[in-house]
Amino acid sequence: MITVGLLGCGNIGRVIAAGQENFKITAVYDVVPARVEAFGKEFDAKPFSDFTAFLAEPTDIIVEAASVLAATEHAQEVLEAGKDIVIMSVGALADIEYRSRLIETARQLKRKIHIPSGAIMGLDNISIGQISRIDKFVLRTTKNPASLAREATERTQLFSGKAHDCVRQYPKNTNVAESLSIACGRDVDVELWMDPDEDRNMHEIFFEGEFGEAYIRVRNLPSPDNPATSYLAALSILTLLKNLDNPLVIGA
């Protein structure tokens, strides 16, 4: 059975822990000692508030389910410790220099950096953009103003431009844009809208190229215990972990 070290014990971490089947979380790290102690007791995982000690614990893979800051601070250490990593906070890879350094470290040490599909679908097929011509790629994200800590009485566009610019202006709403950019190998076009009539986070993907054309729309329900987190994002990590030792792998 695959052993997992969990970095972060918030809402996504709890969904992962509750879904353990063919993997086991044996170690968990969080910066808040009381929180990680309670989590470790509930899910029978060894708790750590010291990252060096956490990393030294025997595990097959580390799952980052904390924040962009946590991913930026610790991903390199994880790879250098000889472990694969799942990065949920993909916005950390918006820094091209940092991303390149991580990839080179993983290549040299024969490690893997896993990017889950997160709050969208079809990320595996979108990666064909790295091997074939893409003519158009647009991500349109629509959110309720409350989830953006704003107010609006009508549908309003907040941003239109490239993903890397959206990352700088809206760092808390960038994981999908960054995942798509990495997958298709180009800086995708992004539109960010707020709509008081939309009660879910909606992502629409318009994708055209020599393969044909595709339109994907996902309207996400929030996680049961955290309305700011997509339940689909948490489920995508569960699927990734369950596929690690599955003899039948579906998709790319």
On whether 106 is known to bind a ligand per the annotation, the reply is: no
Q: Are 94 and 65 in contact (CB under 8 A)?
A: no
- Residues 156, 31: Cα–Cα separation, whole Å: 37
Provide Rg for the chain, Cα atoms: 18
On whether 119 is known to bind a ligand per the annotation, the reply is: yes
Q: Are 137 and 186 in contact (CB under 8 A)?
A: yes
- Residues 66, 5: Cα–Cα separation, whole Å: 13
**Active site members:** 203
Q: Find tokens 């994981």 and name the residue.
A: 175
Residues flagged as binding site:
119, 175
Residues flagged as binding site for NAD(+):
119, 175
